[in-house]
Amino acid sequence: MVSREVNDLLTQTDKGTPMGELFRQYWIPALLTEELPENDCPPVRVKLLGEKMIAFRDTKGRYGLVEEFCPHRRVSLWFGRNEDCGLRCAYHGWKFDVEGNCVEIPSDPEKDEFRNSIKLVAYPLVKVGDILWTHMGDPATRPPEPAWEFCTVAPEQTVSTKRLQENNWLQALEGGIDSNHVSFLHSHELERDPLFRGSKGNKYNLDDLSPVFELTRSGGGFYIGARRNVEGGKYYWRVTQFVMPYFTMIPPRGDHPQHGHFWVPVDDEHCMTWSYDYHPKRPLTFDERKACLDGKGVHVAVIPDGSFRSIQNKDNDYLIDRAAQKRGETFSGVLGFGMQDASVQESMGPIVDRSRENLVASDMGIAMVRNLLRKSVLELKEKGILPPGREREHQMVRSVSVLLEPDQNYVDACKNEMVADASRARVTV
């Protein structure tokens, strides 16, 4: 367990908080490219780290991310007109470019000195893969643009989705690094879901419900190894990649696409769960892509209203099917990997009270990741030391699933295979 003080430190991410400042050292996924599909399309609301913002794409195709409210009378620029290389406030016509500069005040056209003094808070917005990324920190310490393999392969090899979760970012992340729950919460989905079924690893997951965990520091975070006993005296290792502060990559199953998440704070009581599937060696099939977009695998079907709230949500009890749970068709009664995760994470409340939990040996990964986050936050706050996970080499990672002899160290045996390399095949079971 952790104290209330440490819990607050790790879960509060608004501007000016220590954890919020840590997040601002990284490129953060802000929008899917499809949300701004063409030049001069309607603007989109964005909320990250407690800040309300507006994203837009101007006449020349440049992307902008600016504070939501016009500095004149504080009207939301979501109502603005996106025209002629700028976003014009619907109230009095003040106009702003993608860098937040005020380029026109119709009621005072001659007062250039005043107009030049008006500026919106603005952040860069860059396209890498099918995601628009922003950096909300000091430009002087801005890291290189994102280099995750899923967003640098060819477009036909990857797909990304996002969903809103009504809980703090940290309890969502902790679910992403907890391999033990797969054998319970997801057990009935392994052979039902089209993005998981058919893998030998499914059987290994279900045959050994007491995995042994080993954590090893990586350049950007941790290798989280879960070891299970299999026939022939070998070990089945599933190695999750955690890269600071919010990235997880789930070990592959057979030739299915690789997948994982980003857990991005919207505010202290909501996060955006970004999910990706990709294959480093081949295009996704039509059925694989459709399954992701339909909410299979780690993805979730969302309400088509721009909110990205899941169709199964706490207002309808996640469409829980108690009869199916009793018949043994699903462990929790909630259908779908992603929704099973979201339902239990949201059930903890907006911010779980970690001072009341009781961790066991299989929670080692959660405890060590918390410690790394805490250490990184305090070093940034007190010493100005930039946190790990910002460099391109930290992002060029793959997770693995592999059978090894008992005397083999999983990091040594898979060292090369845990580095993303287009010329190298994945290690998967």
Residue 1 has pLDDT above 80, yes or no: no
Taking the model in full, what pTM does it have?
A: 0.95
For residues 268 and 346, what is the distance between their CA atoms, to the nearest angstrom? 13
Residue 361 has pLDDT above 90, yes or no: no
Task: Specify whether the CB–CB gap between 179 and 250 falls below 8 A.
Answer: no
Query: Exposed (0-12), middle (13-18) or buried (19+): which is 326, by Cβ within 10 Å?
Result: exposed
Mean pLDDT of 309-324: 97
Task: Specify whether the CB–CB gap between 410 and 238 falls below 8 A.
Answer: no
Task: Specify whether the CB–CB gap between 396 and 416 falls below 8 A.
Answer: no
For residues 397 and 146, what is the distance between their CA atoms, to the nearest angstrom? 12
The CATH homologous superfamily to which domain 27-141 belongs is Rieske [2Fe-2S] iron-sulphur domain (2.102.10.10)
Confidence of residue 367 (pLDDT cuts 50, 70, 90): very high
Query: Exposed (0-12), middle (13-18) or buried (19+): which is 37, by Cβ within 10 Å?
Result: exposed
Distance of CA 165 to the CA centre of its chain: 11
Mean pLDDT of 389-394: 97
Chain segment 80-134, per-residue pLDDT in tens: 999 999 999 999 999 999 999 999 999 988 889 999 999 999 999 999 999 999 9
Residue 215 has a pLDDT of: 95
Q: What is the average pLDDT score of the chain?
A: 96
Domain extents in the chain: 27-141, 149-414
Fold classification of 149-414 (topology level): Naphthalene 1,2-dioxygenase Alpha Subunit; Chain A, domain 1 (3.90.380)
Residue 179 has pLDDT above 80, yes or no: no
- Which residues on adjacent β-strands are paired with residue 216? 223
